[in-house]
Chain A
Amino acid sequence: MKTNETDYSIIERILSGDKSGYRDLANRHKDYAFTVAYKIVGTREDAEEITQDAFIQAFQALSNFNQEAKFTTWFYRIVFNSALMFKRKNRLQTEDIELSQLAQSVPADTANMLKMSEQGQFIQKALNHLSPDDVTMITLFYLKELSLEEIAQVVGISAETVKVKLCRARKRLAETMNKMLGKEVKTLI
């Protein structure tokens, strides 16, 4: 639901009392924010809760929002931090499955089962084994909406550090996927 109206003008409308602006702002950014949260926490229900909390936080702080900054980087930073906090709180409750066990649980006809529609789930499983930082780097980079500089603003580090961290994250993901499926991953493409 993208329109020509900028985030700034929607925020202006909200601050001048137009409550429909909240809905417009949410519709515009909900999918991206939800995707970032989902990739980090791994479940749709939790991701939706986190995204809603992030929107509420953003709405409450709108009057303090520095309009010289970009709304998306400011807002995605809230989403990122909320998801990170959630992940830390729930770290002890998450399943600690060894990669070897996970590999054993994959059926023999993995190649066919993971075709196309299940590739996303497979990647999500692999992402679940990475740190939230790594997941964020990979997600923000491959969604292709933010530049390295903007990703740096979202996670609060320099663009150079983002590049280094992104490289390490991609390497770790490749290793994880390799451990999970070994040679079978080749058949996915």
Chain B
Amino acid sequence: MKDEDIFDILDGVPSDEIIRKHKKMLKESADYQVLFGQYAQTNALLLDTSMEKTAFNFTDKLIDRWEVSQEVVVEKKSNKLPIYFLIGMSIIGILLIILVLPIIGQSKGQINLSKPLSILQENLFTRLLLIINVLVALFLIDIRFLKPYFQRRMGLK
């Protein structure tokens, strides 16, 4: 008799042939009686296996953890904001350096403080206007595109 056959008997699904062999061996073999008894005892204990119960607040704790884990996802997304901010500021800084340095270089000795109105006739005024335009453009881009984009990503909208 194979072990599988013995377990088939214990599970109540043996073939007629196995039942016949089992009955015969029970009568003739003491070793088989011991082995079958051992398996039957273990099986009887296991048949009492019942469902364990979780702690009474299991579901509440789980839902709390689930909600916290959802918040962490949002927080992770918002952690990228400083990077975007730094990139934006770097672009603005580079633009300012490109625009302002030539102005400072050229303006040495050209601006006559005693004649402040002459500034209107020089490049300085034009370049300042250009800088203001760039800043206003960046501000508008931020209001129109960047701010709604990040708000959407953060789930605020």
Interface residues of A in 13-35 (CB under 8 A from B): 22-23, 26-27, 30-32, 34-35
Task: Verify B61–A52 contact, CB threshold 8 A.
Answer: yes
Who on chain A is nearest to B38 by CB?
A: A174
Interface residues of B in 54-111 (CB under 8 A from A): 54-55, 58-59, 61-63, 65-66, 69
Interface size, chain B (Cβ < 8 Å): 29
| CB of B16 within 8 Å of the partner chain | no
Main secondary structure of the interface of A (DSSP, over half): helix
Distance in angstroms from B37 CB to nearest chain A CB is 8
| CB of A55 within 8 Å of the partner chain | yes
Task: Verify A26–B59 contact, CB threshold 8 A.
Answer: yes
* A174 and B42 in contact, given A56-B66, A167-B7 (Cβ under 8 angstroms): yes
Q: Mark A75-109, 1 if CB is under 8 A from B, else 0.
A: 00000000000000000000000000000000000
| CB of B46 within 8 Å of the partner chain | yes
Of B4, B39, B52, the residue contacting A34 (CB under 8 A) is: B52
Main secondary structure of the interface of B (DSSP, over half): helix
Could you say which residues of chain A place their CB within 8 Å of the CB of B69?
A: 56, 60
Task: Verify B51–A35 contact, CB threshold 8 A.
Answer: yes
Task: Categorize the interface residue count of chain A.
Answer: 35 or more
Q: Mark A156-174, 1 if CB is under 8 A from B, else 0.
A: 0000000110111011011
Task: Verify B45–A123 contact, CB threshold 8 A.
Answer: yes
| CB of B3 within 8 Å of the partner chain | yes
> 22 A-B residue contacts at CB 8 Å?
A22-B63, A22-B66, A26-B59, A30-B54, A34-B53, A35-B51, A51-B54, A52-B58, A52-B62, A52-B65, A55-B66, A59-B66, A123-B49, A167-B4, A168-B3, A170-B42, A173-B42, A173-B46, A174-B39, A185-B41, A188-B41, A189-B41
Beyond known contacts A38-B52, A170-B42, A177-B45: 15 more, CB 8 A cutoff? A26-B62, A26-B63, A31-B53, A44-B52, A56-B65, A60-B69, A120-B49, A166-B7, A167-B3, A168-B3, A171-B39, A177-B42, A178-B38, A186-B41, A189-B41
